[in-house]
Amino acid sequence: MNPMNPINLERDTLHEIRFTVFSSEFRVNPSNPSNPMNPMNPMNPSNPSNPINPERDTKKNPLKGRHYVRQ
């Protein structure tokens, strides 16, 4: 038996709880601009007014990302 298992399980559980909290928060207010599933969120790659892929953009310029200014 791998001695790392309990730690991994614990981490997975914490991540699951955190994910559930955030998911329900977004579900309560789907028009929240910071909701990643909101198509108007500039961080959402499927936002039609945002032609750049935010992940690729972050790699290109580490100062960009979540904190870039909306045009």
State the sign of the Cα–Cα–Cα–Cα dihedral 38, 41, 44, 47.
Answer: positive
Residue 71 belongs to a domain: yes
Please tell me the predicted confidence (pLDDT) of residue 44: 58
Q: How many domains in the chain?
A: 2
Both 26 and 48 in one domain: the answer is no
Q: Determine the pLDDT at residue 42.
A: 59
pLDDT of residue 61: 54
Residue 63 belongs to some domain of the structure: yes
Same domain, 47 and 26: no
Answer for the pair 44, 50: CB distance below 8 angstroms, yes or no: yes
Largest CA distance in the chain: 54
* Domain enclosing residue 68, as ranges: 43-71
Residue 50: inside a domain = yes
Residue at 36 is within a domain: no
pTM of the entire predicted model: 0.17
- Residue-wise pLDDT for 40-70, tens only, equals 555 555 555 555 555 555 455 555 555 555 5
Residue 38 counted as domain residue: no
Tens digit of each residue's pLDDT (9 = 90 or more) over 6-45? 555 555 555 555 555 555 544 545 555 555 655 555 555 5
